[in-house]
Structure 1
Amino acid sequence: MGLIEIIYVVVGAIIGAASGYALHRYISSKRIADANELAKRIVEEARKEAQAQKKEILLQGQDEIFHQKRELEHEFKERERELKARDRKMQEQGERLEEKLEKATEKEHEVLAAEKELTRRERHLADMEEQISSRIDEQERRLQEISGLTAEEAKSRLFEDIESRTRHEAAKMIRLIETESKETADRKAKEIIANAIQRYAGDYVGEQTVTAVTLPSEDMKGRIIGREGRNIRALEAATGVDLIIDDTPETVILSAYSPLRRQVAKMALERLIQDGRIHPARIEDIVRKCEQELDVQIREVGEQATFDAGVHGIHPDIVRLLGQLKYRTSFSQNVLQHSLEVAALCGMMAAELGMDIKKAKRAGLLHDIGKAVDHEVEGPHAIIGADIAKKYNESKEIIHAIAAHHEDTPPKSALAVLVQAADGLSGARPGARKELLENYVKRLEDLENIATGFEGVAKAYAIQAGREIRVMVNSDNVDDDQTYMLCKDIAGKIEKNLTYPGQIRVTVIRERRAVGFAK
């Protein structure tokens, strides 16, 4: 290659480089201009967007300011109304206080005027009292001069005279009133008895007609009730006893008036609990067996009672009724035990009197036989017992003694009186009806002390096992009318201070004796 070619190549390279540089510069300037234009557009759009956001923010702020302004105005109006209401109340209270103040002022003036008037009256009364006191003293001096007695002596004589007259008049009036009241005594007595029955029948029935059966667990109650109550219905139907299953833990209550039915139900229920098989068919079978067993036990108890009393030849049905008395109580005293005691007492008294001992024991043992069926037959148990004895061919003396032991029939034989006395002794002896000997003796002592504490009483005796108190009075100090008053006073004090079963008869005796000597 020649020099010229090399020059051409160099020149061409230089020209190419220059043209490339110019082209690059042109392209670069073009790009810069485009970039500047883009930047201007972006800045312009950003400025517009910022202006829009600024306007929106300003509008939101104006809205918030407007809402706050409305809320503040509303709150201001509410407070303004409250303040106006308070102002009105304050004004009204002020007016009322002013009225009260005016009234209080008026009352104060009235009170002051009343005090002045009272002071004036007190002074006037004081003057009058002084005048009256001086006059009374003057009259007393004149009376003492006339009568020759002091004021205290005259008062005591006057009071004694008034007291004596008043007591005699009161005694006569009381006797007259009680004489008139005897016409209505029967009706009043029936009313009192009816009220007593109404008040105490519920408690007595609850105590005497309920038996509790203990269960091994609470789960047993559900088994006794059975599905839909069929077991409990079957047991009630078979025994005639109401089963009460309540919240009492591990206990079932059997309720029935007849103690025999309760005993059958108790035996059957205990046996079913022990056996564990409780269903209607099994219940009926167990109840039937228990009735048979109880009937055998009752006969054995009756036979044992006749053997213990030494009485033989009694009809088997009466023996069975005697056995039933084991499940009967009277004033918490077992009737069968009471009958055995009466038989023993009748035998001892008959031996002392030379009467027929066997007949006396027989009458004493059978005297309460009517109580075995008195809940099934109407009438007094003495009459019911006499009818039973007559039915089974007992002797007329035995029948009469049974009927007359509570005076439902007047006693007409020594045997009837004997049974009556033995019955009273057995029921009234200490301990027979849950009364301790110490309490019994103390009650008798209290009775006598109450009676002897009255003026004019000479002696007092508690008799009839504390059912009667006999009071002997001094005839010189107590007259007939005072005797009547004394009887009432003693009875009233006994009712107030003592607690006792039944009633206590108070008998006041005034006896005047004239003693002379023939020489």
Structure 2
Amino acid sequence: MNIILGVIAGFVMGALPVYVLYRSAMKKKSAGIIKKAEGDAAVIRENAVRENEKKLKEKEEEFMSRLRGKQSTMDKKENELSLKTAEIDGKIRDFEQKQREVENGRRDCERKEKLLRMKEEELSGKLSLQKELLQKAAHMSPEEAKKILISSMEDEARKDAHKLIGDIIKQAEIDAAEKVRGIIATAIQKASTDEVQALTTTVVQIKNDDLKGRIIGKEGRNIKAFEAATGVELIVDDSPGVITLSSFDGVRRYAGALTLEKLIADGRIHPGRIEELAKKSQEEAQAHIKETGRKTVQVLGIKDIKDNLIEMLGRMEFRFSYGQNILRHSMEVAKIAKAMAFEIGADPILAARAGLLHDIGKALPGEVDGSHAILGAEFLENNGESAKVVNAVRAHHEESPFETVEAVLVAAADALSATRPGARMESVEHYFQRIQKIEEIAMLFEGVERAYAISAGREVRVIVQPEKITEANAPVVAREIAQKIAREVEYPGQLKVSLIREQRWSELA
């Protein structure tokens, strides 16, 4: 029994390693089979994916090709549709244009038909009138017939006279305007000047705002001393780098600016130094005035002018009228008057001299009542100027009759210089008063319905009643309005009167 058990145990012990080895070999074999199967599956899967991608790409290309074909067909059809739409729009526009032309033609025909009816009615009225006149004439005495004939001839003569007057005035204005434009254009080309617009203030530049405190001084004593010594108000505010001097007297303002510039350059700013430099600056200002007067007469070639007249000319540099510098204005007037005198054969030296001195009355010191033209003429007469110069100065605002051609030229040159664009400033109140006055004068005439001043008061449009103002006498009425405005209103340059006579007919349909 033991032997059998030993044999069995030996068999078991011998078979166990064999079984273990067999099982290990089978596991390795199965692992290799599984790995190979997985590799084959991966290859099969990859091939399948590539095949599917290839088929999908082929189908996508096929779809895009079909889509592009359909898009091309749609684009072609859309272009054809756009061309047809444009063609239809063009035909519609042509139809509408032809329809408008037909409508305009119909209206034109109606208007012509209406005018024809009016002419027929007018002709019928005239025929009826002639019949009545013939019937009356048949029962008229020779004296009565003569009176009617004379009355008719007077009416026709009056109409012809009005028309002739209008034609003569128009042609004379055209001829005169062409000649005057040539003379004035030549004169103005020779007389271009710069315009200065410093009125009541002068600005002095400073390098450092710290100087403002020193200029003011302790408790403002330096400013007080400055204003007392120069007669000019000193304005020190927050404006950076500047100090302003204010005064209506241009000479004082000029001397004050010199004083302030000297103080800043000197650095010693105290009341004693201010008074000392103010005195020197006033002397320099006086010398500047005389030098300016001498240079002015030299530039214009005017000789034999007394020293006090030269000083007055220099003072004119610091005077303004309506914002226009009087000296620059007077030089401009002298040049324009001289050029016009050359053109028409007058005395250019006399014209230039009178033009330069025409506003000297505005530079006279002190408060003097009276017109500057009259005061200036008296001043020139007292200083030995010729009677012709005195008359030109006195008459340049038509306060005295003109005695020479040169006097007329000075007045014309003064108007040209004063009225060129930008030369002068005018208050709004004075402007509106002038506009209102012009319109009121135009409305005074019989038959005037409305009047409007336009173009800044340089033109007035007068609308008249056609039943009261005939076409023949309209030019005469316009001329009378212009003459009355010229007599009663002061205005710069020229003023145009445009008379409008309009008749309208309307009917309801």
TM-score normalised by the chain length of structure 1 = 0.45
Query: RCO (CA 8 Å, sep 6+): is it higher in 1 or 2?
Result: 2
Q: Which has the larger radius of gyration?
A: 1
